[in-house]
Amino acid sequence: MQQIMIIFLSLIVGILMNICSLNIHIFKEQSLTRRETFLFLFLLSFIMIAYQWLYKTYGYTIKFLFMALLFATLTAISIEDYRSKIIPDLLIIVGMIIGFILIPFINNIYLLDHLATGVIGGGLIAIFSVISKGAIGLGDAKLTALIGLYMGMMGALVVILTATFICGIFGLILLTFKIKNRKSTIPFAPFVLLSFIIFNFV
């Protein structure tokens, strides 16, 4: 029964993600293009596999719902960051509100610690953004605050530092092969998502 619930949840989240993030209208009268079909199936499979893995890690618990929500939010943010270089405020705000509500119901997670991590982490990145004159975006500060709220100090440090390292290596490769120049920007959210996956699934 629990497995059926997980599959049902991942299907709902995957379909909503396709409609909202990829602007794929699965209920429109016209048939989907090949590109839309591929993106729809890929994202749906991605969500389903991730949710099954999270279920094996955390069981059918509030912690599972907590991490599943963060995964879905990071996926949606990554898609939008890649497409438009924007981290949507709405996703950050909704994610924080729901996370704030769920934290008190999770064993061994203390709301004040996670809240302080989010505020301090996001605040530090915001300061670096101002100092660097926009080289680090304020959107990354909001994303760091979200990660801090959900994962606490140690988890947030591991995820953000790993994401920064991978992003740096990727940037060097692009510069080496002259695909990008020093003034080019690279969306950071997809690397945070990748780091989150490594943190939970490896």
pLDDT digits (tens, 9 = 90+) for 62-76: 999 999 999 999 999
Task: Quote the CA–CA distance of 159 and 148 in Å, as a whole number.
Answer: 10
Cα–Cα distance measured from residue 178 to residue 182, given in angstroms and rounded to the nearest whole number: 10
Mean pLDDT over 96-120 rounds to: 90
Distance CA 97, CA 82 (A): 24
Q: What is the mean pLDDT of residues 77-91?
A: 89
d(Cα 12, Cα 108) in Å, to the nearest integer?
29
pLDDT per residue as tens digits for the range 124-150: 999 988 887 777 888 999 999 999 999
Find out whether 141 and 156 touch, Cβ atoms under 8 Å: no
**In the predicted structure, residue 54 carries a pLDDT above the cut 90:** yes
48-to-1, 34, 109, 160 alpha-carbon distances in Å: 16, 21, 26, 25
Q: 8 exposed, middle or buried (CB, 10 Å; 0-12, 13-18, 19+)?
A: exposed
Give yes or no for residue 29 having a pLDDT over 60: no
pLDDT at 22 over 70: no
pLDDT at residue 185 is higher than 80: yes
* Residue 114 scores a pLDDT above 90: yes
pTM of the shown model: 0.88
Choose between 56 and 184: higher pLDDT.
Answer: 56
Residue 154 has pLDDT above 60, yes or no: yes
CB atoms within 10 A of CB 49: 12
pLDDT given for residue 124 in this prediction: 92
Q: Which residues contact 65 (CB under 8 A, 6 or more apart)?
A: 102
Residue 14 pLDDT class (50, 70, 90 cuts): confident
For residue 109, which amino acid is it? I
